[in-house]
Structure 1
Amino acid sequence: MSPQPLTASEEFSRGWGVILASMLGIGLGMAALPTYSMGLFAPYLVREFGWSVGQIMAAMSIITLMSLWAGPSYGAWAEKIGARRIILVAIPLWGLAFMSLSLLNGSLVQFYLTWLVIGLVGAATLPITFTRAVNRGFDKAKGLALGLAMTGTGLFGIFGKPFLGTVLAAYGWRAGFVAVGLLPVLMAFPAAFFLFREEEISLPDGHHVPVERPGLTTGEALRDWRFWLIAAALVPISFAMGGPVPNLELILKDGGLSAQQALTVTPLFGLASITGRLVGGWLLDRIWAPLVGFVILSLPAFSLWYMGSGMLDVGHARLATFTLGFALGIEYDLVAFFVARYFGLKRYAAIYGLLYVCFAAGAGFSPMVFGHNHDTTGNFQAILSISSVVLVVSAASFLLLGKYRRFDQ
């Protein structure tokens, strides 16, 4: 007789530790920390070494390339030995690698090689590994659990940026790299060590392996048209929404807002991201996920179109920024939910890792494309207008996914 399924409250009572550890691990991992911090470090590095902003931001492309290569590898590895073992090694290495940026001596080669190492170890801290345990521990409240785990990125945006800004102003950029690198070591690692748990079975030789869950193999998923539909949609969606984020201050400035006015707008992004994750996760548990994804991911099209108009006022700029952040808050969660519902949990991390490549490809290179467009035309109007149309069309493709699959236990 199969055991009775747990209620949503029972799932949270049993799995709150995994959510908390994942929240800290993701929020202090490579998915958030470089994105939210490099904009603050850039002016200091420009003054110290004479590098251009473009040369500095090329570091984001380096870690994107490493995510494309290492992310799926960590996902496949997690299926063999479990995500916990990978995370406990990766988190301290990730923190130490980030701290090593404090040793920069003015060589761009050193700068890029350091980011190469950061990307290599940091790819193990992406949601690919953490959401594996969350998905396996939750069913009735899967969407909300994923949303809570992903709020870490928004929390760093709200609290981490002011913390880093204070350190930079008081102690300089070298201390800033050390301070930010210490956060995962002192906060994420203890949480992962004590709270992050996965179901395992003991083999006769004494080794422990993760409990097998039903679902498709990686090969079966790659032969499924749904995988390729999701993959094809993710690239333009992540491109359209990823490009404005690191360029937000410049977009607001081009639209006519002063630096002081922009400071009242940009902090809304982190709050909106958290709100999007929680509200979106709650909706995913109650409404067909492709419809939720289409509606929420289409809303920023109006934000992008408005931001590209070149005539902004503070009130509408706040609304546009909040809407963009709200939609970005659900993107990771939506992909994780799609993988669990359409491909199962048998090879969840490996399949999610492959789809993450599509997300990383779009979001990782779009800031550079947006920046190049600005350098060429003097504004972001054309690229923002094009992105608004691409976003709606790509999000609408999710409506073709059909009913969820059922996987026998």
Structure 2
Amino acid sequence: MNERPWFTQTRWRIAGFLALAAALNYADRAAISAVLPALRTSFALSDVQLGLLGSMFLWCYAIASPVAGVLADRWSRRRQVVWSLALWSAVTALMGAADGFLALLLLRGALGLVESLYLPAATALLADHHGPETRGRAMSLHSVGLNFGVVLGGAFAGYLAERFGWRSGFWVLGLAGIGLAIASGFFLRDGPQWENVTAAPIRAVRPSLGEALRYLAGVPSYHVLLAKAMLAGVGVWVFLNWLPLYFREAFNLTLGAAGFAGTFMLQISTVLGIAIGGWVSDRAAAGGAKRRMLVQGLSYLAAAPFLLLFLTHPGFTAVTVAVSAFSLFRGLGQANENPTLCEVIPVQYRSTAIGIMNTCATAAGGVGVLLAGILKRSLGLDAIFAGISLLFVIAGLALVVTYRRWVERDLQRARTHAA
């Protein structure tokens, strides 16, 4: 047993760095949501064009994610994290120089391509360094970084846009990421020779894509996680893209206030839920790894009803309550997602599995963002937000059924395959 204080251990130093990188990852992708009103004014954009800016990122991210996952299973995960961080930061800085809708659209696509390299490698790198006893908390710390980044991107970009123009936020965030990439050598290293779950050596022979896909095709629990990722991805990305504009239009807030309100309430409760969820996940898994999936399913079912409040066309206080409660339970469930995946999938296929899941989530999210832009005028954002509750009910029920029927068999198969 390691007697060193936790904050001096390599595995937690890696988790802390990745949480910071994750914050910048989501800050850079979310920053554009806070400046949509300014972009609409500067370039005379329609709601559909604004929706396309969100969808272009998600679709390019989705297309590249499987390739990113395969790469992370076949070469240095540490290097992939660092290259992704450096490249997405450079693209973010370039967005500050965009001179029209086409340039923004192309740069959003490029951002999706290079950011897709990060999550499969970073999540698998965490799993390489953290076994079942700390995996939930380590991945929750990483998820806290991701969700805090949305607040950072939205509030910071909105604040700078009001004072220095909408371009300034992209420049500052991009330069910060390049600096972090330069410092990465002091914090990151590839996984140890021995994998914590099975105490079996990681083989030098890398699996082929065909081997990975054949294995993943036979894991019902993974299929349900993919479906859940698509359902939740629609809801989460619709919120991230359109909530700041909703506050701007419904309550006549300034750009900075709308960017803050549209990200802070959504994400601070998610961060709290993830922090609690990481602890709950590890405690639940002490009685059996399959319990992580049950916690996730019940959390999603608890989150769904709060969004129905949007059907009443609520005031600012009611929106705050609804969004915060929904985000708290969603975060609690989200904390169990990657630990569950890393336990039903053997180490040599994890990045590929994560890459495919990212594709499903972001492709569905891109469709949702664009549909919201198309339906916004006829239905209104209140009805669109309320409809997300149904998606979370379906996802929650699917997870509970999987907990009862398939996950134990898949866990045993993963242990046997890894050994």
Alpha-carbon spacing, 1:226–1:166, altered in 2? closer, same or farther (3 Å): closer
Identity rate, percent: 17
Q: Relative to structure 1, is the Cα distance of residues 190 and 282 closer, same or farther in structure 2, using a 3 angstrom cutoff? A: farther
Match among 134, 157, 164 for residue 171 of structure 1: 164
Q: Report the alpha carbon displacement of residue 73 of structure 1 after superposing the two structures with TM.
A: 0.7
Report 1:132-171 matches (<5 A): 132-139=124-131, 140-171=133-164
Secondary structure at the aligned position of 1:170 is classed as helix
Residue correspondence of structure 1 range 216-255 to structure 2 within 5 A: 217-251=212-246
Quick one: distance in 1 between partners of 2:275 and 2:335?
10
Aligned-residue offset at 1:61: 1.1
Name the Cα RMSD after superposition. 3.0
Seen in structure 2, the aligned counterparts of structure 1 residues 218 and 21 have a Cα distance that, compared at 3 Å, is: farther
User: Does residue 1:296 correspond to 2:299, yes or no?
Assistant: yes
Superposition TM-score, scaled by structure 2 size:
0.83
Give the C-alpha shift of residue 78 in structure 1: 0.9
Contact conserved, 2:92 with 2:170, CA < 8 A, in 1? yes
Q: 2:64–2:359: 8 Å Cα contact kept in structure 1?
A: no
Counterpart among 175, 197, 200 of residue 189 in structure 2: 197
8 A Cα contact 1:70 1:120, kept in partner? yes
Distance 1:74 1:378 in 2: 36
Tell me the distance in 2 between the aligned counterparts of 1:97 and 1:24.
18
- CA distance in structure 1 between the partners assigned to 2:4 and 2:134 by the alignment: 5
Within 5 A, what are the aligned runs for 1:204-353?
211-212=202-203, 217-251=212-246, 257=251, 259=253, 266=262, 267-287=264-284, 288-310=291-313, 312-330=314-332, 333-353=335-355
Q: Distance in 2 between matches of 1:138 and 1:220?
A: 23
Query: Is the Cα contact below 8 Å between 1:199 and 1:211 reproduced in 2?
Result: no
Mapped to 1, the partners of 2:88 and 2:236 lie a distance apart of 26
Q: Cα deviation per residue 1:221-272 (whole Å; 9 max; x = unaligned)?
A: 2222222222223222222343233222455578x65638978854222211
**1:191 CA displacement:** 4.8
Summarize the Cα distance change of 1:257–1:83 in structure 2 as closer, same or farther, 3 Å threshold.
same
* CA separation of 1:244 and 1:119: change in aligned 2, threshold 3 A: closer
Q: 2:50 corresponds to which letter in structure 1?
A: I
Q: Is the CA contact 2:154–2:260 (under 8 Å) kept in the aligned structure 1?
A: no
Partner residue in 2 for 1:87:
81
More helix per residue: 1 or 2?
A: 2
* 1:238–1:6 distance in 2 versus 1, CA, 3 Å: farther
CA distance in 2 between counterparts of 1:51 and 1:115 reads: 15
Matched residue SS, 1:80: coil
- Structure 2 residue 9 is the aligned partner of structure 1 residue 13: yes
Written as runs of structure 1 = structure 2, the 5 A alignment for 1:370-381 is 370-381=372-383
**What's the counterpart of residue 39 of structure 2?**
45
Task: Please list every run of 5 or more consecutive structure 1 residues that lacks an aligned counterpart in the other structure.
Answer: 202-209
Question: Residue 11 of structure 1 contacts residue 137 of structure 1 at CA under 8 Å; is this kept in 2?
Answer: no
Check whether the contact 2:61–2:113 (CA below 8 A) recurs between aligned residues.
Answer: yes
Compared with structure 1, are the counterparts of its residues 336 and 263 closer, same or farther at alpha carbon in structure 2 (3 Å cutoff)? closer
Cα distance change on mapping 1:52 and 1:331 into 2, 3 Å: farther
CA shift, 1:134, in A, is 0.9
Secondary structure of residue in 2 paired with 1:136: helix
Q: Measured at CA, do residues 253 and 38 of structure 1 come closer, stay the same or move farther in structure 2, by a change above 3 Å?
A: closer
Looking at structure 2, the residues matched to 262 and 91 of structure 1 have their Cα atoms a distance apart, in angstroms, of 28
Number of equivalences: 389
Equivalent residue letter for 1:302: P
Per the alignment, do residues 343 and 184 of structure 1 end up closer, same or farther by CA in structure 2, a change over 3 Å counting? same
Tell me the residue number matched to 1:391: 392
Q: Residue 271 of structure 2 aligns to which amino acid in structure 1? A: I
For 1:359, the equivalent position in structure 2 comes to: 361
One-letter amino acid matched to 2:202: V
The answer as to whether partners of 2:158 and 2:260 remain within 8 angstroms in 1 is: no
Verify the 8 A CA contact 2:234 2:364 in the aligned structure 1: yes
CA distance in 2, matches of 1:129, 1:358: 17
Conserved? CA contact 1:21–1:191, under 8 Å: no
CA distance in 1, matches of 2:305, 2:8: 36
Structure 2 CA distance for aligned equivalents of residues 268 and 284 of structure 1 = 24
CA contact (8 A) 2:296 2:334 kept: no
Shift of the 350–12 alpha-carbon distance from structure 1 to 2, 3 Å rule, reads farther
* 2:178 aligns with one of 168, 177, 185: 185
Give the corresponding residue for 2:105: 112
Q: Aligned AA for 1:290?
A: M
Contact 2:34 2:259 in 1 (8 A): no
Please say if residues 104 and 111 of structure 1, whose CA atoms lie closer than 8 Å, have aligned partners that are also in contact: yes
Structure 2 unmatched ranges of 5 or more: 194-200, 285-290
Deviation at 1:184, TM superposition (A): 1.3
2:74 is paired with a residue of what secondary structure?
Answer: helix
SS at match of 1:81: coil
Alpha-carbon contact 1:22-1:150 (below 8 Å) kept: no
